[in-house]
């Protein structure tokens, strides 16, 4: 992730299809196929840029050493929103984890440092400095309160309609509070173990059976390997409702929000 070649287009950071595939640990053809099958979900200029002709030649000549083949006549560059859209379509734990990392590192806009004049004024005028500190403190409190309200709304509104996206977002928040997104897999495992215990199921066994059935139906091995515990949960409405309930409980357990305040 830290070795990503930084590429910019129209003053915003973008990724090539190759970079996106590498980060999400999938194949280029999966990215291309998902785009071709869901073109109505992507808007040029918002989710991606398509370089051809003179634009592509200029890009090759003036920009980055990213190994673009000489015979390439079309190049897609994916924005942060485009990377997010591909993450939702792939819907794998690895893609979600890596997009969170991209959002926090590669796409994160660095705050501008205050001007030298402002620094001089702040240092020379003690009252202004104190006032600024008070304003910042008040802004931080207001921001924390807003985030708390939004989190409460997310937990309360969490249901079985968009459960995969919503539960992942809550798990990501828990992981961030625990110290970093590397905790996501541990939290996923905890949620699956709680589901097994609370509902008397064996997700691992169901996953094996699901893959075996797919094999009998002629589904390719690569597609079978992509099936995960969330796909098993998807097959059972009661498990979906149970999983949603468990993620709500975990959000409270790890102090993401205290619903009793609402």
Residue 187: the pLDDT is 94
Residue 6: the pLDDT is 87
* Residue 160 pLDDT grade (very low, low, confident, very high; cuts 50, 70, 90): low
In this predicted model, what pLDDT tens digit does every residue of 71-123 receive, in sequence order? 788 999 999 999 999 999 999 988 999 999 898 889 885 434 444 555 445 55
Residue 111: the pLDDT is 39
| Range of weakest confidence among 56-65, 95-104, 212-221, 240-249 | 56-65
**pTM score, whole prediction:** 0.45
Residue 127 confidence (pLDDT) above 60 = no
**Cβ-contact 226, 147 below 8 angstroms:** no
Residues 155 and 248: their CA atoms lie apart, in Å, by: 6
């Amino acid at each position: 992730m830290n070795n990503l070649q930084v590429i910019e287009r129209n003053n915003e950071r973008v990724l090539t299809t190759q970079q996106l595939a590498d980060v999400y640990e999938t194949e280029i053809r999966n990215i291309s196929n998902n785009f071709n099958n869901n073109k109505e979900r992507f808007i040029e200029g918002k989710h991606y840029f398509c370089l051809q002709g003179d634009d592509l030649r200029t890009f090759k000549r003036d920009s980055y050493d990213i190994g673009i083949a000489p015979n390439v006549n079309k190049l897609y560059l994916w924005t942060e929103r485009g990377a997010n859209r591909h993450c939702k379509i792939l819907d794998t734990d690895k893609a979600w984890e890596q997009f969170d990392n991209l959002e926090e590192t590669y796409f994160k806009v660095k705050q501008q440092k205050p001007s030298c004049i402002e620094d001089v004024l702040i240092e020379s005028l003690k009252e202004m400095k104190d006032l600024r500190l008070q304003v910042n403190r008040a802004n931080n409190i207001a921001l924390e309160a807003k985030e708390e309200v939004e989190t409460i709304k997310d937990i309360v509104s969490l249901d079985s309609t968009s459960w995969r996206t919503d539960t992942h977002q809550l798990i990501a928040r828990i992981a961030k509070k625990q110290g970093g997104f590397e905790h996501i897999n541990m939290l996923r495992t905890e949620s699956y173990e709680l589901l097994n215990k609370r509902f008397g199921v064996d997700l691992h066994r169901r996953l094996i059976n699901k893959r075996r059935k797919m094999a009998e139906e002629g589904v390719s091995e690569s597609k079978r390997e992509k099936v995960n515990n969330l796909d098993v949960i998807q097959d059972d409405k009661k498990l979906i409702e149970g999983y949603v309930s468990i993620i709500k409980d975990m959000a409270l357990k790890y102090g993401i929000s205290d619903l009793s305040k609402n």
